[in-house]
Amino acid sequence: MAVPELQPHHSRLGNRFTRWFGRSMLGLLGWKITGEFPADKKCVICIAPHTSNWDFFIGMFTLLALDVKLNWGGKHQIFIWPIKPLLLGLGGIAINRKQAGGFVGQIVNEFDKSESMVFALAPEGTRNYVPKWKNGFLRIAKEANVSVYLVSWDYGNKEMHFGHGIEVNDLDESMDIVRGYYQKIVAKHPAKTN
């Protein structure tokens, strides 16, 4: 299976076996990886449409196939022994939403502390239908002065597609660009998209 090339500054996730496993699982499921992985040292990845638990597995197999470690945020309550080391090793960042600055501020702080960081999140914030996407990923990118790259689970073509990047100046205009990009993408459960 052909996969996009990574840059030397990207954090690695696994080894030869995990790369083989990720590529094999995607192949068995009939999926492929298309597009180019962002070359930026720091960026936000917006990944959508998120409508199924299968999205997690396709995403994890993709990360293993690429041998890349992405960061993601989770409630600080899940970062407990004995799974805390595993979650941190998989790129997890413990988020305390009651802390000053909230989710956005904590992730921007992580960008400020990091020499290289790729942070991924789904704008829906859930697998369920939501009438409006959250703009936290755009606010993070704007405050951290990084680009947002659009990545999709395209169940119509069975592609994990790495799309183009955008610079965030105006939140509403940027959200319109993002929404327009994902309009043509087929979700696992289309009824859960808006």
58-107 tens-digit pLDDT: 998 999 999 999 999 888 898 999 999 988 988 999 988 777 778 999 99
Q: How high is the pLDDT of residue 168?
A: 98
To the nearest 10°, report the CA torsion of 137, 127, 50, 8. 60
Unique residue bearing structure tokens 């999926």: 31
Low-confidence ranges of the chain (pLDDT < 50): none
Give the rounded percent of residues in the chain with a pLDDT score beyond 90: 71
* Confidence (pLDDT) at 194: 75
